[in-house]
């Protein structure tokens, strides 16, 4: 099943619970009865070295012959009520990887632990990304030719350059730190060729954006006399 469709993309940052995602799947994808969905995580390494995870609910629909995805915010922790308990406990977000859930919001972790009322605790990211940041990073990845290495399984372009974006959508930031980045003047020239309206874009702005994603900027070698 290779077709993907992201649901409720415009509101993904406002969602907090698995129940929020189930409501969208029920309304737009017919998720009900004996259906099951899976939670998948997209780890992202921040420049600080901290790891946060983008949380996605994936539902493979045999009826529609596609996989529907509902995103929840990036997080490092989540809260839930364990089976036979009555209070919320807090857990590391990594425990949700490959967990399954049903229409009622019951979640089963890989180790068999059962829980419900799962609520994501959004991570506080150290910066906000602008549309210009998205263009710069997607075109830089295109210049490197690393689209295959840096994508999540989603539809919808990361920026307004779908031909240059990672193959199927959002960027996996955890893969960016190890990429070989060309000199800033090379990136700047490539961006100007693909997007002439950015001809006045400064090398400093490109450098600042790449650093947000933890990408190392090569130091230009001094010219030999």
pLDDT digits (tens, 9 = 90+) for 189-219: 999 998 888 999 999 999 988 887 777 776 6
Give the per-residue pLDDT at 180.
84
Rounded to whole angstroms, what are the CA distances from 193 to 135, 147, 163, 199, 209?
A: 13, 19, 14, 8, 19
Q: Which is higher by pLDDT, 157 or 59?
A: 59
| 214: DSSP letter | T
The SS3 assignment for 7 reads coil
Angle (deg, nearest 10), helices 203-212 and 184-194 = 100
How far, in Å, CA of 141 to CA of 44, rounded? 16
> What global pTM score does this model have?
0.66
Q: Bridge partners of 56? A: 40, 71
Q: What is the pLDDT of residue 155?
A: 40
CA nearest to 70, candidates 160, 124, 141, 10: 10
More confident residue, 183 or 131: 183
Give start and end residues of each alpha helix (H) in the chain: 18-29, 131-144, 184-194, 203-212
Q: How far apart are the first and last CA of the chain?
A: 59
- How far is Cα 70 from Cα 9, in angstroms, rounded to an integer? 7
Radius of gyration of the chain (CA): 20
Strands 37-45 and 51-61: antiparallel
**pLDDT exceeds 90 at position 100:** yes
Query: What's the pLDDT at 171?
Result: 65
Question: Does pLDDT of 9 surpass 90?
Answer: no
Q: Tell me 150's DSSP state.
A: S
Asked if residue 41 lies in contact with residue 94, where contact means CB atoms within 8 angstroms, the answer is yes
């Amino acid at each position: 099943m290779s077709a993907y469709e992201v649901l409720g993309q415009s509101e993904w940052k406002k969602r907090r619970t698995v129940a929020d995602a189930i409501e969208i799947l029920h309304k737009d994808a017919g998720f009900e009865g004996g259906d099951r969905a899976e939670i998948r995580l997209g780890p992202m390494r921040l420049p600080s070295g901290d790891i946060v995870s983008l949380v996605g609910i994936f539902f493979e629909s045999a009826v529609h012959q596609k996989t529907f995805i509902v995103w929840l915010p990036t997080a490092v922790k989540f809260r839930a009520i364990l089976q036979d308990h009555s209070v919320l406990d807090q857990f590391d977000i990594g425990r949700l990887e490959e967990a399954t859930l049903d229409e009622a919001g019951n979640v089963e972790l890989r180790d068999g632990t059962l829980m419900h009322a799962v609520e994501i605790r959004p991570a506080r990211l150290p910066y906000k990304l602008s549309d210009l940041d998205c263009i710069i990073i997607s075109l830089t990845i295109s210049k490197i030719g690393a689209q295959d290495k840096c994508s999540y399984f989603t539809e919808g372009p990361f920026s307004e350059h779908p031909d240059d974006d990672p193959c199927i959508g959002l960027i996996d930031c955890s893969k960016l730190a190890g990429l070989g980045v060309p000199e800033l003047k090379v990136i700047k020239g490539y961006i100007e060729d693909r997007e002439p309206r950015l001809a006045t874009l400064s090398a400093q702005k490109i450098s600042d954006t790449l650093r947000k994603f933890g990408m190392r900027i090569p130091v230009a070698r001094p010219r030999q006399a």
